[in-house]
Amino acid sequence: MLKIGLISVSDRASNGTYQDQGIPSLISWLQTALKTPFITENRVIPDEQTVIETTLCELVDDLHCDLILTTGGTGPAPRDVTPDATVAIADRIMPGFGEQMRQISLHFVPTAILSRQVGVIRKKSLILNLPGQPKSIKETLEGVKDDQGNVIVSGIFASVPYCIQLLEGPYIQTHEHIVKAFRPKNAIKSDL
């Protein structure tokens, strides 16, 4: 079973000042996009680097999540430390994910260049920092589409299933009208 860790990094949501929107948005999108059954481990935590690091390590080392998606805390403000915590616990950095996230966001807002989102690998888990707003989360995962729904710029999730496969995780299938997973022909399993 695919196990996905979802972390919302927000001082205000973690202390109850407002209702977290990141995790519900992620769950809704995953339910729409994935054919593969999955379970989630959800955490709402403050913008504290040590707390973020500890939570990421728990989800990878103890709970063995195949994929971890964080939301929030990726800007230049002093309290935005999600990328710093993510890199601190990483075994390897996957720079293409951060580059693609910023490219997608630049189609919508010029301030996308202020984002410090990263993608990393810890052990056999892929960890991705997503934006904090539900609309931006969806755009980042699905990509830029024209009025007919044709993909202009691929979303980052198009590469996630193959990355998880290369990390010896479960084979992930998607609903192609939401996001089409890309794999080389020799990595496609036709017997599913």
CA distance 57 to 92: 14
Strand ranges inside the chain, DSSP E: 2-9, 38-45, 67-71, 92-93, 119-122, 125-130, 143-145, 151-154
CA distance 21 to 62: 26
Domains identified in the chain and CATH numbers = 2-187 (3.40.980.10)
CA distance 65 to 5: 6
Question: Among residues 146, 112, 125, 17, which one has the least CA distance to residue 61?
Answer: 125
CA distance 74 to 117: 6
Tens digits of pLDDT across the chain (192 residues): 999 999 999 888 888 888 899 999 999 999 999 999 999 999 999 999 999 999 999 999 999 999 999 999 999 999 999 999 999 999 999 999 999 999 999 999 999 999 999 999 999 999 999 998 999 999 999 999 999 888 899 999 999 999 999 999 999 999 999 999 999 999 988 766
pTM for the model: 0.95
Residues in Cβ contact with 78 at an 8 Å cutoff, skipping those fewer than 6 apart: none
**Residue 50 CA: distances (Å) to CA of 89, 114, 120, 127:** 10, 23, 17, 17
